[in-house]
Amino acid sequence: MKVISQGAPPELQTYTASCGKCHSVLEFQKNEAQVKSDRNETVYVLSCPVCCNEIWIASQALRPAIQSTDFRDQPFQPK
């Protein structure tokens, strides 16, 4: 078997978030956030290391960080 593009296991996936107070952009893994249930959805809570603001992120709003520079599976888009 040949690996064309290597991914990351879900527990090692890196995500990005931005702080609404100081506008810092953070990169984190799920195990670095507190997991809370808010009504019918899972929410991840981070503490901004710059201003200590709590950042609440719904599980549906998690944005994976781009780790790879392998663009073979993406269409060419000239500028």
How do residues 15-74 score in pLDDT, each as one tens digit?
A: 999 999 999 999 999 999 999 997 889 999 999 999 999 999 998 888 888 765 556 666
Identify the CA nearest to 70 among candidates 2, 28, 7, 1: 7
**Measured between alpha carbons, how far is 16 from 50 in angstroms, rounded to an integer?**
15
Residue 56 Cα distances to 7, 33, 46, 70, angstroms: 26, 10, 7, 31
pTM given for the model: 0.69
Task: Let me know if residue 70 belongs to a domain.
Answer: no
**How many folded domains does the chain comprise?**
1
Q: CA-to-CA distance for 28 and 22, rounded, in angstroms? A: 17
The whole domain housing 40 covers 12-64
Report how far residue 30's alpha carbon sits from residue 67's, in angstroms, rounded to the nearest whole number: 16
Q: Is residue 54 part of a domain?
A: yes
In-domain check, residue 1 = no
